[in-house]
């Protein structure tokens, strides 16, 4: 009898394992999102279910919850081509449930035999829930009250640090950051419209990210993504904040590098942001369709990368080679603006006038980001070792530091803030200093400094973060506000090769 019971038990386990899994929200018929506990259990089940996938803990949230990644990788390589590495992450904002639910649906889809071919060419890391603390309370921010998707430059939050440790371990060539957008603003409704695309897509917009990457995204990915979703009954568009009236210009989303998309993009990565439609209860309304739409958007990316990965990998390899080489007289954009190029945005909306889906045309559309202030990329920067705030920031970012040999071959530039003006940054007024540069003629005691060269993957990020006139720089954050005081000497010293000084004089 005991044997029979045991056999029944083993058989029932076998049957359970052979049946396709369902996400926690699917089991609850999407009346509630998947809780953290349920999500952890489900991810472990997936790990047990398929050899293709392995669960990994990548860090902990502020409240001590584990942050999980699922690694999809097939052993062996029939094509003999090195695989392309893709990172998809969701729910940095805890009240954007469809990102997580879409990722959990995708996680299960990908273990099905019909998608197995993807992993002949792709290694995928999927982080379904970056902000479990926020998710449990359905709030945007983490337990420190920080907006994680504005934290990738100052990098003070453990969730964001965990993401970048993961990135720095694998150097993904393609990333997607999954969010939700909120179309229910008074202004839009007053004008009679509601943006109602199931999903929107945003590409790299910072002009420092190579044009080869940005053009490929626009030319190749956009039409593919649009068609892929349309044929699956999912409405879509480009992520275009601004409006609704012609008084407020409309543009592609921010060029700032403090978000999950461009913090990877600035390391010459194909990075995308996907924005699913939020429910107007900001929670579970229509969650089943919202999650499904998000998961198909993620699948579209994987299918595209499967088809184009070889070319994408080559572009990334060549562009990153430039980043890790010593600077070759190139410019780094520090201030920029959105400008028109004569094109008109045709935006799909729901119209309260006709009570149907409609298209509105925006003439005040500014799709191009133009640099308005740039600097010749220096060889590196000297951080005073005594400035623990700056040195700890550099450590959190994981910059490579090297000893600066043969100081006589370099020119050291001291920066002084003479006054602080203000400039327009995407419609907000932010402070901007006036800076004078003088060449230091005395010997510098290099042992009192940490040297960070710009010839590294995060080299452009370093310049953009540390230059005092950068509108995306450290000095624009409250924590580093002391860097931008009038009549003070900037603590960081700019280092250039001596011959570049001769070049300037010529």
- Return residues touching Zn ion (CB under 5 A): 93, 96, 179
Q: Which of 414, 403, 416 has its CA nearest to residue 488? A: 416
Q: Smallest distance, Å, CB 431 to Zn ion?
A: 26
Rounded to a whole number of angstroms, the minimum distance from the CB of residue 177 to Zn ion is: 8
| Of the candidates 353, 365, 344, 347, the residue with the CA atom closest to the CA atom of residue 189 | 353
* Residue 304 Cβ vs Zn ion, minimum distance, rounded to whole Å: 22
Query: Can you say whether residue 138 is alpha, beta or left, with left for phi > 0 and alpha for psi between -120 and 50 degrees?
Result: left
Q: For Zn ion, give the closer residue by CB, 276 or 433.
A: 276
Q: Compute the least distance from the CB of residue 275 to Zn ion, in Å.
A: 7
Angstrom distances, CA of residue 72 to CA of 99, 101, 109, 117, 303: 19, 18, 12, 12, 15
CA-CA distance, 398 to 325, in Å (whole number)?
18
Cα(477)–Cα(431) distance, rounded to whole angstroms?
Answer: 11
Whose CA is closest to 385, among 443, 480, 452, 438?
452
* 491 HSE (CA, 13 A, CB side): 20
Nearer to Zn ion, 128 or 468 (CB): 128
Bridge partners of 55, per DSSP, are 70
HEC-encoded secondary structure of 455-472: CCCCHHHHHHHHCCCCCC
Separation between Cα atoms, residue 64 and residue 483, nearest integer Å: 33
Between residues 236 and 253, which has the closer beta carbon with respect to Zn ion? 253
In the complex with Zn ion, the residue whose CB is nearer, 83 or 93, is 93
For residue 175, give the 3-state DSSP assignment: strand
Taking the least distance from each CB to Zn ion, the nearer of 81 and 185 is 185
Residue 99 or 473: the one with the smaller Cβ distance to Zn ion is 99
Interior CA angle at 293 toward 288 and 298, to 5°?
A: 125
| Residue 104 beta carbon to Zn ion: minimum distance, rounded to whole angstroms | 17
Alpha helices in 69-180 (DSSP H): 97-109, 132-137, 158-170
Cβ distance to Zn ion smaller for residue 96 or 101: 96
Residue nearest to Zn ion (CB): 179
Q: Please, which residue, 202 or 327, has the CB nearer to Zn ion?
A: 202
How far, in Å, CA of 471 to CA of 257, rounded?
11
Q: How far is the CB of 260 from Zn ion (least distance, A)?
A: 9
CA dist 367 and 158 (Å) reads: 34
Q: Nearer to Zn ion by C-beta: 272 or 451?
A: 272
Strand partners, 428: 425
Omega into 487 within 30° of 0, i.e. cis? no
How are strands ordered across the β-sheet holding 193-195?
A: 193-195, 345-351, 356-362
Residue 108 or 149: which CB sits closer to Zn ion? 149
Minimum distance between the CB of residue 96 and Zn ion, rounded to whole angstroms? 5
CA-closest candidate to residue 236, choices 345, 347, 368, 102: 347
Cα–Cα distance measured from residue 414 to residue 406, given in angstroms and rounded to the nearest whole number: 19
d(CA 186, CA 280): 12
Q: How far is the CB of 334 from Zn ion (least distance, A)?
A: 26
Q: Least separation, in Å, of the C-beta of 262 and Zn ion?
A: 14
Q: Under 8 Å CB-to-CB from 335, ≥6 apart: which residues?
A: 371, 372, 373, 423, 432, 469, 470, 471
In this complex, which beta carbon is closest to Zn ion, that of residue 85 or of residue 93? 93
Distance of CA 42 to the CA centre of its chain: 26
By C-beta, is 148 or 463 nearer to Zn ion? 148
- Rounded least distance, CB 140 to Zn ion, Å: 7
Residue 227 or 280 having the CB closest to Zn ion: 280
Residue of 182, 197, 174, 195 whose CA lies nearest to 86: 174
Shortest distance (Å) from residue 271 CB to Zn ion = 15
């Amino acid at each position: 009898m005991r044997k029979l019971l045991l056999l029944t038990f083993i058989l029932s386990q076998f049957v359970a394992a052979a049946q396709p899994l369902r996400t926690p929200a699917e089991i609850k018929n999407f009346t509630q999102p998947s809780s953290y506990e349920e999500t952890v259990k489900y991810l472990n089940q997936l790990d047990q279910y398929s050899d293709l996938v392995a669960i990994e803990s990548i860090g902990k949230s502020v409240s001590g919850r584990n942050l999980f990644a699922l690694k999809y990788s097939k052993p062996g390589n029939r094509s003999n081509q090195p695989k392309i590495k893709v990172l998809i992450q969701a729910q940095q904002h805890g009240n954007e449930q469809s990102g997580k639910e879409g990722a959990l649906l995708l996680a299960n889809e990908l273990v099905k035999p019909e998608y197995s071919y993807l992993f002949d060419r792709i290694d995928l890391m999927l982080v379904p829930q970056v902000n479990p603390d926020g998710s449990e309370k359905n709030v945007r921010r983490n337990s420190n009250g920080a907006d994680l998707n504005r934290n990738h430059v100052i990098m003070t939050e453990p969730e964001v640090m965990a993401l970048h440790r993961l990135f720095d371990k694998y150097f993904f060539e393609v990333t997607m950051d999954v969010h939700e957008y909120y179309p229910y603003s008074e202004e839009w409704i007053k004008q009679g419209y509601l943006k109602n695309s199931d999903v929107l897509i945003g590409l790299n917009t910072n002009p420092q990210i190579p044009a080869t990457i940005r053009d490929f995204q626009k030319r190749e990915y956009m039409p593919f993504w649009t068609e892929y979703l349309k044929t699956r009954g999912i409405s879509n568009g480009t992520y275009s904040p601004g409006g609704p009236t012609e008084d407020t210009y409309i543009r592609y989303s921010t060029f700032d590098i403090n978000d999950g998309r461009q913090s990877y993009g600035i390391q010459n990565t194909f990075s995308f942001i996907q924005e699913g439609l939020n429910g107007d209860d900001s929670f579970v309304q229509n969650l089943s369709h919202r999650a499904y739409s998000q998961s198909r958007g993620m699948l579209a990316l994987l299918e595209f990368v499967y088809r184009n990965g070889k070319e994408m990998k080559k572009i990334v390899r060549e562009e990153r080679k430039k980043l890790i080489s010593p600077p070759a007289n190139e410019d780094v954009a520090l201030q920029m603006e959105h400008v028109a190029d004569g094109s008109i945005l045709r935006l799909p909306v729901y119209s309260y006038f006709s009570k149907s889906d409609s298209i509105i045309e925006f003439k005040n559309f500014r799709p191009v980001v133009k640099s308005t202030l740039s600097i010749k990329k220096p060889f590196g920067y000297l951080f005073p070792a005594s400035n623990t705030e700056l040195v700890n920031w550099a450590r959190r970012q994981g910059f490579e530091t090297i000893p600066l040999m043969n100081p006589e071959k370099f020119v050291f530039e001291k920066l002084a803030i003479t006054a602080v003006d203000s400039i327009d940054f995407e419609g907000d007024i932010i402070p901007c200093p006036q800076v004078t540069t003088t060449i230091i003629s005395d010997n510098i005691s290099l042992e009192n400094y940490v040297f960070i060269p710009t010839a590294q993957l995060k080299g452009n990020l370093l310049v953009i973060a540390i230059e005092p006139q950068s509108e995306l720089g450290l000095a624009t954050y409250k924590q580093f506000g002391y860097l931008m005081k009038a009549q003070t000497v900037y603590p960081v010293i700019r280092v250039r090769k001596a011959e570049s000084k001769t070049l300037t004089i010529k």
